[in-house]
Amino acid sequence: MIICICRRLNEKKISEAIDAGAESAPAVMAHHQTRFNCGQCRHDIAEMISNSQDIETSTDIAAE
């Protein structure tokens, strides 16, 4: 599914940026060497980052 219509970034591309260490919506854009245009996708990208961090935290706690 396309998350950023302006820059044609789909879930896979955003996940790749998060997996590479992007911890903010601007960092996701920087990973793909672009910037926000309209900004409508900021919330969705931030939510994807938050969900990723929640999963990592849950995995870390389970490993202990």
Rounded to whole angstroms, how far apart are CA atoms 64 and 54? 16
Per domain, the residue ranges of the chain are 2-63
The residue among 20 and 61 whose pLDDT is bigger is 20
Q: What is the pLDDT of residue 33?
A: 98
Lowest pLDDT segment from 4-8, 19-23, 51-55? 51-55
Q: What is the mean pLDDT of residues 10-28?
A: 98
Q: What is the mean pLDDT of residues 26-50?
A: 97
Hey, is 16 helix, strand or coil?
A: helix
Residues in the chain: 64
> If you ran DSSP here, which 8-state letter would residue 10 be given?
E
Name the pTM for this structure. 0.82
Class of domain 2-63: mainly alpha
Which two three-digit tokens encode residue 45?
């990208």
Please check the confidence at residue 61 and state whether its pLDDT lies above 90.
no
Measuring CA to CA, how many Å separate 32 from each of 8, 22, 62? 11, 10, 32
Q: At which residue do the structure tokens 């929640």 appear?
A: 54
Please check the confidence at residue 64 and state whether its pLDDT lies above 90.
no
